[in-house]
Structures are given as structure tokens and as C-alpha cells.
Chain A
Amino acid sequence: MNKKALMAVGPIIVFLVLIVFFWVALKNDPKKLNSNLIDKQVPAFELPALQNPEQLFTEESLPKELFLMNIWGSWCGPCHIEHPYLMKYSGKYEIPIVGVNYKDETIDGLTFIKEKGNPYHMIIADQQGTLGIDLGVYGAPETFIVDKNGTIRFRYVGVIDDRVWSTKLLPIMEQIKGSEIKPVTVESKGQ
């Protein structure tokens, strides 16, 4: 290639490389940190139930099947948006949702559930945020997919809505389970 051609083509190539580079960088949301916990066990904990401080939950209390672990708090705006979706899925699918009431006042957490319904299989009260820190949680809502052996398989940061559910969570859960997850319309849960 002669010098003139190189002078002409060079900047174009540099430009194209930069386009690709910035394109990739734009798609990568710096706010979504990767979890270091993927493929690790749910960390050990011993925390009270939100509805009953006498009752203590540990990692042994978690469901022995595929479940979701949802970190929420009444103080968290996006959790209010997410909540109706959780209600919908908890009634529609046989996938237990374990709630972690993160850094919340007991009374506020209870009021939230009472007013908006309870989509949770069980609710762990993490007032000090210790379980949250062990999970590497840096905000709410966050949702973990945990398999039947108690291994964390996926972490989703942000609000779950229909799009996230059908394009992300459901396919991943089906892949982990190795079978299709069909909606069941027996009777809706909730209190």
C-alpha cells in the first residue's frame, strides 16, 4: 500500500475501531456490578423472620428447590414498582420467592406487605444489612436465582418487570431446572 492510501485509510480505520469500542462501552452499564457470588453457596446467616422476631431463619431454612431471593425495602422506590410483578408471578408460577427485607424498620416492612400483599414464601429481616453485605448487595431491588442445592446462579440488579421476567429470569431458571416452567393457575397465594 502506498503512503497516500495509508494516509487516507488510516484515520477511517481508527474511527471504525473507536466506534466499536465506544459501542461496547455504552452497552456495558457501569452501575451493574458483576457478582462474585455466582456459583457459590448462599452465605450463612441467622436472622429473624419479619413477621415473627422469635423465629430465626438460617441458610437451612431456605427452600430446597429452585427459588428467587429478592432484596427489598419499604424505603426503596423501585421496590414499590416491582412489587405488583412479584405478586403476579408468585401466584402464577410455583417458584418460591424468598424476601430479604433489607435495612428496613420492622413496622415499615410489615405495613408494606399488609397494604400491597405478600408475594413471599418467607421474609428474612435483615435490619443491619449483614446478609446484604455478604451477598454483595449495593442497592435494592436485587434478585438472585438460587438452585435447589443453595447455589447462587444469577443476579439481577433492578426492577423485575414482564420484560425482564420473560427474557431473562424465566429462560435462565428453565435452563437451570432443565425443564419448562409453566404457569399454574390453581389458586393464588398471598395473605
Chain B
Amino acid sequence: MKNIFSILMFLMSAQVLAVIETYEFETQAQEQLYTEIIHELRCPKCQNQTIAESNAGLSEDLRFIVYQKVMDGESKRSILRYMQERYGDFVLYDPPVKPANYFLWFAPLIVFVIILVIVLAKVGRRKVTPEE
């Protein structure tokens, strides 16, 4: 009895999982490319989810577009550019290095350098004036 119940539960959960659309690919490379791309695009509707993770209707549409383009043999670069043209750098989890994004790219480095300078100054001073 217990077994039947767990089998039923298993089947039901499989049903739930099947709600996420399944696309058919001709080759494994296509499937891999598709998976890779949907994990690199940010859902424009959500704040911090990839379109692979998001249940938003828009993400669903974008996944379908990615699927179609992968099947059409488009390259990853051209698909990412297509999305970027429409939704801006925001959709890319790996934004381009350009003036508008300098802060994003270099702020951690700048903070690191500042801390380094402070630490060096302190340590250096201690050596010069050990009596302090």
C-alpha cells in the first residue's frame, strides 16, 4: 500500500515537472547551446533570475525564441546580440566592458586597491615609528 502511494506520488511529481516546456532537439550540441544560452540571459521582468529559472510569461517567450534560433542554426553570439538589442545590457549576465558599465567592472578592484593602500600605509608606518 505504501509502495503504491509512493509510486503515485512519483508519477504526480513527474507530471508537475512536465509543465516546463520540453523542446525537441536534433543534436546534443543544439540542446547544450540552448541550455547554455538560457542560463546566461537575465529575465527582464524579474530582478535576479535567468530565463531558465524564471516562470514569468516573458521568460517563457524568450526561451522559445532562443529555441527557435538555436534550431535555425544561429550562433550564440547572434542570439545574445538579438536579446541585447531589445533589452539592453541588462539581459546579459556577462555585460560588455564599456563606459556605462565601468563601475560594475572595476569597483571591486578599486575598493581592493584602496584597502591595500590603507593596509600598506599602516604597516609601513608601524615599521618606521615602532615606538608609537
Interface residues of A (CB under 8 A from B): 30-31, 33-37, 103, 128-129, 133-136, 138-139
Contact = CB atoms under 8 A, between A and B. Distances in A.
Contacts of A138: 44-45, 58, 87
B85 A36 contact: yes
A128 B62 CA distance: 11
Contacts, number: 35
A135 B61 CA distance: 14
A133 B65 contact: yes
Nearest to B65: A133
Given A103-B57, A129-B61, A136 B45 contact: no
A136 B87 contact: yes
Tell me the interface secondary structure of chain A in the complex: loop
Contact of A136 (B47, B57, B61, B88): B88
Nearest to A75: B57
Nearest to B91: A33
Nearest to B84: A36
B2 interface: no
A36 B84 CA distance: 8
Contacts of B84: 36
A135 B84 CA distance: 12
Contact of A36 (B45, B57, B87): B87
B65 to A, nearest CB: 7
Contacts of A31: 47
A30 B104 CA distance: 14
Given A133-B61, A139-B45, 5 more contacts: A31-B47, A36-B88, A133-B86, A136-B88, A138-B44
